[in-house]
Amino acid sequence: MAIIPEPTRRRLVQIAHLLSHQKSTRITSMNIESLTGWSSSLIRKDISMIHYNGGVSNGYDVKDLRRAICEALNIAQTIEQGVNCCIVGLGKLGAALLENSIFTGTPFKLVAGFDTNVNRTEILSAPFPLYAASKMESVIPELGIAYAILTVADDNAQRMANILVSSNIKGIVNYTGEILSVPQGVVVENVSPITAMNNLSAMLAE
């Protein structure tokens, strides 16, 4: 399989997510256009990048297309087995994510929260255990946690990222404004409002 360009990969990830919520059994590229705003020709081009031949004039089979995308992106196994995740930083932003049932129906499962402030881990309630940050290096490998959501203060972000790396984390969703330095093999998705807005500016200027 040829390398899939990043913009295509990002769109395919979204399309797979969207398909998982579809109630109908078939979907056309025009349907996906109306759900995403991306042009149907771009969508067909993205889908052709994974060499999927299941499209006919009355559209794609929803389940089969989703399976094909997940396989092409090598995320099928991840989705089937599920991924244990944790939140690091239980300030207002972290606490807001704690109480959301945002991960229901996804492969991602929050199994632990961490904060340097032990008061917070004692006061906050969550459907999973909360620990002092000093426990990260033991709890993360023990629970097989692969992904972390980082919601600490900026000036603590790299220090916590270092601990995550030494706890064998695979990926970090970075809500802080810091640019994290991590070794090869660990991936970071930067989703702070500032990064997001800078990306909007650059996209709008294209």
Residue 145: phi, psi to the nearest 5? -80, 125
CB of 203 to its own copies, least distance (A): 4
Q: How far is CA 79 from CA 17, 23, 47, 83, 175, in A?
A: 11, 19, 19, 8, 23
Contact between 14 and its own copies (CB under 8 A)? yes
Neighbours of 70 (CB within 10 A): 22
Stretch touching its own copies by CB under 8 A, among 58-66, 93-101, 113-121, 129-137? 93-101
CB of 165 to its own copies, least distance (A): 10
Contact between 167 and its own copies (CB under 8 A)? no
b/e sequence 1-15, b meaning 16+ C-beta within 10 Å: eeebeeebbebbeeb
The single residue among 24, 53, 74, 125 that binds its own copies, judged by CB under 8 A, is 74
Contact between 2 and its own copies (CB under 8 A)? no
CB of 112 to its own copies, least distance (A): 15
d(CA 107, CA 110): 10
Stretch touching its own copies by CB under 8 A, among 2-10, 48-56, 113-121, 133-141? 2-10
The single residue among 93, 124, 132, 143 that binds its own copies, judged by CB under 8 A, is 93
Q: How far is CA 48 from CA 15, 51, 54, 62, 173, in A?
A: 13, 5, 10, 16, 29
Among residue numbers 119 through 158, which ones bind its own copies (CB under 8 A)?
147, 149
Contact between 52 and its own copies (CB under 8 A)? no
Q: Which residues bind its own copies (CB under 8 A)?
A: 3, 5-7, 9-10, 12-14, 16-18, 34-37, 73-75, 78-79, 83, 85, 91-93, 95-97, 99-100, 102-103, 106-108, 147, 149, 170-173, 177, 179-184, 186-206
